[in-house]
A and B are shown apart, each in its own frame.
Chain A
């Protein structure tokens, strides 16, 4: 089954959530900062697990490593302005061209690797997850359109900018804010609004400036490395006949 990892992980998460609301057991009312990080890690595990189950392809491995490294680098000069990061755009365009699996891995590895140089911390899994999901979202958009359509891509970039901030806010909220009430929740989100807007605007601008040319470069590269995949398809096809 192709999606076994995802099914397994979702059922484990649901089970843990149910256990956490049943009183009188060790997991009841557990530290939420840790519990939510556990969920995020499990969700990422599903993607990495799927990646491991696929056959070994050296071109895929190096492609993910290089693009992740490029995305990570693009983060460093902008680290001063917290939320203006071309990384999101890089991850999205990768997902758009190469599909959800590659998109997710590039996003997650970019976050991890850039944090080796900027600073590792409890926020790492959250950033890995958020950037990975940006890649997946762009890949899903690519399924709807043929070729590169700037308007939907730029709009998705804006949406991803906000969503990224909103998911990161959850970790900020459960980790540092006490008590966990609606009031503090809304206050956290209101406080992050300007940063998220900057991030979204940045994504839109990067999409307009680089979108078309990056798409063409990556597409040509995809064509260049695809033959191996095509041959395996033919071979497996003849086996079936």
Chain B
């Protein structure tokens, strides 16, 4: 049922924390940045990592979906927002909205927000295809092992209960209870005992499970855990690059370099303000660069 597939590349052989940290940082920066060039940089970096992870075909589907959303955002923004000096088109008068004025600035703002949406969608794509859900949950199990245990148990019981439901309905069918034919109301009525039995049997199972856990010593002392995930040099390399990227990104945000005022009139980009964007892109693309080296040189592969 899971969409995650193990692949042979560096992105899939990272510690789950590194990958989740990467995703978190890009998500944060995509919210902090407002400048189209900075956002475009983020998009390129994430795209490089996704391609390095071997998920280009899945990513294309995400991108197609988000392009339609971007067009909707741009159209709505252009119609509803009247700010901006460069008027491109003056439309007819509409009852609720008043006169429709489409400005270049509003279109550009819509496009900028569109790039932000692209970054976010790509991040979701990377999370879905490159992070194993169990490994991600395991990371949190140190913080709250009871909650994580409840979630994993419940996820595991889900398919089991579907099978239970099928078993009970089959038993009922054998006894001549009509579950598929007859009137809608009758069928619903015949389903009631099935649901009650399902509740009873699942409570029974929960008790058995608890006893079995108790017999194996659950809760008898402080929790022990073993972690198979290794910290390798590649994780440290990527994490340090990410921290540099985060600091330079926040620095740019504090200095105001990464904000761009679309209104009242579009201005030229100041090249001096874009230097940090280059740093951010390079640091965030480090996983992709390392992956390239990892594939090319066996020596590097053995070292990291």
Contacts and interface: CB of A to CB of B under 8 A. Distances in A.
A59 B207 contact: yes
Contact of A178 (B77, B128, B147, B196): B77
Contact of A31 (B31, B144, B202): B31
Contacts of B253: 26
A69 B218 contact: no
A235 B161 CA distance: 37
Most buried by A among B32, B157, B195: B157
A190 interface: no
Interface in A176-232: 178-179, 209-210, 213-214, 217-218, 221, 224-225
B214 interface: yes
Contacts of B128: 120
A62 B196 contact: no
Contacts, number: 123
Contacts of B147: 48, 51-52, 105
B200 interface: yes
| Centre residue among A49, A51, A68 by max chain B CB count within 10 A | A68
B76 interface: yes
B20 to A, nearest CB: 14
Given A34-B31, A70-B198, A61 B146 contact: yes
Interface string B135-165: 0000000001111011101110110011001
A51 B146 contact: yes
A62 B155 contact: no
Interface string A109-125: 11011001100100000
B261 interface: no
Contacts of A48: 144, 147
B142 to A, nearest CB: 11
B213 interface: yes
B205 interface: yes
A69 B196 contact: no
Nearest to B208: A62
B78 to A, nearest CB: 12
A34 B206 CA distance: 37
Per DSSP, chain B at the interface is: helix
A63 B151 contact: no
B200 A209 contact: no
A40 interface: no
B182 interface: no
A119 to B, nearest CB: 10
Nearest to B151: A109
A175 B132 CA distance: 27
Interface size range on A against B: 35 or more
A91 interface: no
Q: Classify the interface of chain A: helix, strand, loop or mixed.
A: helix
Interface in B193-211: 195-196, 198-200, 202-203, 205-207, 209-211
Contact of B210 (A58, A70, A120, A210): A58
Q: Please tell me the size bucket of the interface on B.
A: 35 or more
A60 B38 CA distance: 49
A6 interface: no
A65 interface: yes
B1 interface: yes
A56 B161 contact: no
Contacts of B199: 70, 214, 217
Given A31-B31, A73-B158, A109 B203 contact: no
A9 B206 CA distance: 32
B205 A66 contact: yes
Contacts of A109: 150-151, 154
Contacts of B195: 210
Given A48-B147, A179-B80, A62 B209 contact: yes
Contact of A209 (B144, B192, B219): B192
Contacts of A178: 76-77, 80
Given A63-B210, A217-B196, A73 B155 contact: no
B219 A58 contact: yes
27 contacts: A48-B144, A56-B146, A56-B219, A58-B214, A58-B218, A58-B219, A59-B206, A61-B150, A61-B153, A61-B210, A65-B149, A66-B202, A69-B154, A69-B155, A69-B161, A69-B202, A72-B158, A73-B158, A73-B162, A116-B155, A116-B158, A117-B1, A120-B128, A210-B192, A213-B196, A218-B203, A221-B207
Interface of B: 1, 31-32, 76-77, 80, 128, 133, 144-147, 149-151, 153-155, 157-158, 161-162, 165, 192, 195-196, 198-200, 202-203, 205-207, 209-211, 213-214, 218-219, 253-254
List 7 tightest A-B contacts by C-beta distance, closest first.
Answer: A56-B219, A65-B153, A66-B206, A69-B157, A59-B210, A65-B154, A62-B210
Given A34-B31, A52-B144, A210-B192, 11 more contacts: A61-B213, A63-B210, A65-B149, A65-B157, A66-B154, A66-B203, A113-B158, A116-B155, A116-B158, A217-B200, A221-B203
